């Protein structure tokens, strides 16, 4: 039986299927109804397909995979570079994250985060959310509706955090996590597009029983894990003080069964040799966050050493420690960090080459997130998660191409001078979902029944309230909740232990209007 091919793409195809390998070829690629890639081999297949032919200075590239980004910190992207990690958390980060108990705010910001990262070509992101379950569920819904693959992690943090932004106990943290896991299991039962990820914020913000419980949650639900490790010297000293019976920062996680083949460890700047060995043994992966490491003056991670040890490495923007969710900037900073380190340590091998950097941003990310067989490069049988990159003069970006430029040069010029205007099309799982050439008619195919419609066309307070009500209903219908939702004032209170007095929550001019609306529907 002849298989039906839905779309045939014809054009330059560039990818890095393995570390250090760069493939540039003229290709004809078929995307089947089952949304995987097949290379078209005979003409009769063309009869049933739409054919997309790229323009001369356009090429296909795998979608970027950002393995470490804090969605609720997005409003802070671009400022706050004056403090080291622990003080930065206190001054900038905890205040913004704690405001996500307000779902209106979460919807507005998370919509922006997902559409912005898509515009930069991020087709798969591993997000830290705040500690709030409803806002985290909303982020999951947004990613699912807008078509971005995502891991969504509600932060687990029950100690050494400000009173207004701290879970009251291990038990409540686990309960809140279970609610999110149940909600997301209904949203995407196969976890093909969105999956929960267990997210102990970092060792200092979790008690020992919570660390242990997080390891158990991941094992019981077969879920990935993400956390921070060895980012900054002050943080490492704090971990040593808090866990004196453990050999190292890595040993803290290992002891609590948090190092698995599906664990993403962000930063890893100061790992000792023994820690590297443990991480290798457990097959956990690293998210290298060079922009954030530079901004917060945390340090320079020696990625060559980790790669030489056989550890899986990927790239993260780490917004808002990193100042932009643009993965091209993460690639540039990874290049510069490795070159600076090569010069400081007088070892030219430490410098990462362009094919290696591009691998970290694509296939490397897929491997770290445990999805290397599905996405990250263009191989037969994989999903079509692809960008159409346009470097023609029509894009009016600083990527200026001349006749003598080779494709290697063009690729490098795009990496170092390009921006979102060069991202013409963003495809996830065989569907066009974003990019400068993506028209409204294209996105309407995606069943955008939730957030985008809400944000683009329905802006009245009544419509907002209706949306909130839908979210609440979806929660109460699908999950047995220990009365963690309270709608009497038209707003959501995610955790009963978070009823600290806050002006934002108590004096809310629209609350009366909402209450009336909720009652009348």
| Residue 70 or 493 with smaller CB distance to Zn ion | 70
| Residue 35 or 318 with smaller CB distance to Zn ion | 318
Structure tokens at 206: 């979790």
Strands 23-32 and 5-15: antiparallel
CA separation for the pair 422, 339 (Å, rounded)? 26
Q: 159-168: string of b/e by CB count within 10 Å (b at 16+)?
A: ebbeeebbbe
Kindly state the smallest distance separating residue 70's Cβ from Zn ion, in Å: 6
| Residue 193 or 202 with smaller CB distance to Zn ion | 202
| Residue 5 or 125 with smaller CB distance to Zn ion | 125
Binding segment for Zn ion (CB under 5 A), chosen from 156-164, 167-175, 313-321, 422-430, is 313-321
| Residue 54 or 266 with smaller CB distance to Zn ion | 266
Strands 58-62 and 149-153: unpaired
Nearest to 383 by CA among 375, 391, 394: 375
Longest Cα–Cα distance of the chain, Å, equals: 71
CA separation for the pair 82, 465 (Å, rounded)? 39
Binding segment for Zn ion (CB under 5 A), chosen from 92-100, 250-258, 314-322, 374-382, is 314-322
Contact status: 231 vs Zn ion (CB under 5 A): no
CA separation for the pair 363, 340 (Å, rounded)? 25
| Residue 294 or 415 with smaller CB distance to Zn ion | 294
Kindly state the smallest distance separating residue 156's Cβ from Zn ion, in Å: 14
Q: Is the dihedral of CA 358, 362, 366, 372 positive or negative?
A: negative
Can you tell me which residue has the tokens 């969605």?
A: 71
Residue whose beta carbon is closest to Zn ion: 318
Kindly state the smallest distance separating residue 353's Cβ from Zn ion, in Å: 26
CA separation for the pair 231, 202 (Å, rounded)? 10
Kindly state the smallest distance separating residue 226's Cβ from Zn ion, in Å: 9
Binding segment for Zn ion (CB under 5 A), chosen from 98-106, 110-118, 233-241, 316-324, is 316-324
Kindly state the smallest distance separating residue 340's Cβ from Zn ion, in Å: 21
| Residue 141 or 318 with smaller CB distance to Zn ion | 318
Kindly state the smallest distance separating residue 125's Cβ from Zn ion, in Å: 13
Kindly state the smallest distance separating residue 93's Cβ from Zn ion, in Å: 9
- Residue 440, number of CB atoms within 10 A of its CB: 9
Kindly state the smallest distance separating residue 28's Cβ from Zn ion, in Å: 41
| Residue 82 or 470 with smaller CB distance to Zn ion | 82
Residue 133 in contact with residue 176, Cβ under 8 Å? Answer: yes
| Residue 68 or 464 with smaller CB distance to Zn ion | 68
Binding segment for Zn ion (CB under 5 A), chosen from 235-243, 317-325, 330-338, 469-477, is 317-325
Residue 130 in contact with residue 100, Cβ under 8 Å? Answer: yes
Between the CA atoms of 168, 107, 423 and 125, what dihedral angle is there, to the nearest 10 degrees? 20
Contacting residue, 318, 356, 420, 495, with Zn ion by CB under 5 A: 318
CA separation for the pair 150, 114 (Å, rounded)? 10
Kindly state the smallest distance separating residue 228's Cβ from Zn ion, in Å: 5
Binding segment for Zn ion (CB under 5 A), chosen from 86-94, 154-162, 301-309, 312-320, is 312-320
User: Which residue spans within 268-354 are E strands per DSSP?
Assistant: 285-288, 312-315
| Residue 318 or 420 with smaller CB distance to Zn ion | 318
Binding residues for Zn ion, rule CB under 5 A, total 1
Q: In the 3-class helix/strand/coil scheme, how is 414-468 assigned residue by residue?
A: HHHHCCHHHEEEEEECCEEEECCCCCHHHHHCCCCCCHHHHHHHCCCHHHHHHHH
CA separation for the pair 350, 473 (Å, rounded)? 53
Question: Binding string to Zn ion for residues 179 to 218, with x set by CB under 5 A, is what?
Answer: ----------------------------------------
Kindly state the smallest distance separating residue 140's Cβ from Zn ion, in Å: 19
| Binding positions for Zn ion, rule: CB under 5 A | 318
């Amino acid at each position: 039986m002849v298989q039906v091919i839905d779309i045939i793409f014809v054009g330059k195809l560039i990818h890095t299927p393995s570390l250090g390998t760069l493939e540039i070829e003229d290709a004809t690629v078929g995307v089947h109804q089952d949304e995987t890639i097949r290379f078209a081999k005979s003409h009769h297949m063309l009869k049933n397909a739409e054919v997309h032919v790229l323009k001369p200075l356009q090429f296909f590239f795998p979608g970027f995979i950002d393995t470490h980004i804090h969605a609720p910190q997005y409003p802070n992207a671009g400022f706050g570079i004056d403090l080291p990690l622990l003080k930065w958390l206190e001054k900038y980060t905890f205040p913004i994250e704690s405001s996500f108990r307000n779902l209106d705010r979460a919807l507005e910001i998370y919509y922006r985060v997902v559409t912005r990262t898509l515009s930069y070509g991020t087709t798969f992101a591993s997000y830290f959310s705040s500690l709030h379950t409803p806002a985290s569920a909303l982020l999951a819904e947004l990613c699912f509706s807008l078509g971005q693959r995502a891991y969504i992690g509600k932060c687990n943090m029950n100690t050494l955090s400000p009173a207004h932004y701290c879970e009251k106990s291990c038990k409540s943290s686990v309960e809140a996590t279970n609610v999110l896991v149940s909600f997301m299991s209904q949203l995407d039962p196969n976890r093909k597009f969105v999956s929960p990820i267990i997210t102990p914020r970092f060792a200092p913000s979790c008690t020992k029983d919570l660390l242990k419980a997080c390891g158990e949650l991941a094992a019981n639900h077969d879920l990935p894990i993400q956390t921070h490790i060895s980012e900054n010297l002050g943080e490492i000293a704090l971990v040593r003080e808090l866990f004196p019976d453990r050999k190292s920062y890595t040993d803290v996680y290992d002891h609590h069964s948090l190092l698995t083949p599906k664990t993403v460890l962000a930063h890893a700047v100061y790992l000792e040799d023994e820690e590297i060995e443990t991480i290798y043994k457990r097959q956990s992966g690293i998210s290298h966050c060079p922009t954030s490491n530079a901004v917060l003056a945390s340090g320079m991670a020696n990625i060559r050493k980790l790669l030489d040890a056989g550890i899986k490495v990927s790239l993260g923007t780490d917004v808002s420690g990193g100042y932009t969710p643009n993965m091209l900037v993460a690639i540039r900073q990874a290049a510069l960090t490795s070159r600076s380190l090569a010069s400081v340590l007088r070892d030219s091998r430490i410098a990462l080459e362009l094919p290696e950097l591009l691998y970290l941003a694509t296939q490397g990310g897929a491997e770290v997130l445990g999805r290397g067989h599905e996405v990250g490069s263009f191989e037969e049988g994989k999903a079509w998660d692809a960008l159409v990159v346009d470097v023609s003069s029509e894009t009016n970006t600083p990527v200026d191409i001349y006749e003598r430029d080779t494709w290697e040069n063009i690729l490098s010029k795009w990496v170092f001078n390009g921006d979102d205007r060069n991202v013409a099309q963003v495809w996830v799982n065989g569907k066009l979902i974003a990019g400068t050439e993506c028209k409204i008619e294209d996105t309407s195919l995606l069943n955008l029944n939730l957030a985008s419609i809400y944000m683009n066309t329905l802006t009245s307070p009544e419509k907002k309230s209706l949306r909130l009500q839908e979210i609440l209903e979806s929660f109460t219908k699908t999950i047995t909740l220990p009365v963690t939702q309270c709608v009497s004032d038209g707003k959501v209170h995610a955790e009963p232990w978070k009823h600290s007095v806050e002006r934002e929550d108590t004096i809310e001019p629209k609350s009366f209007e909402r209450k009336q609306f909720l009652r009348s529907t």
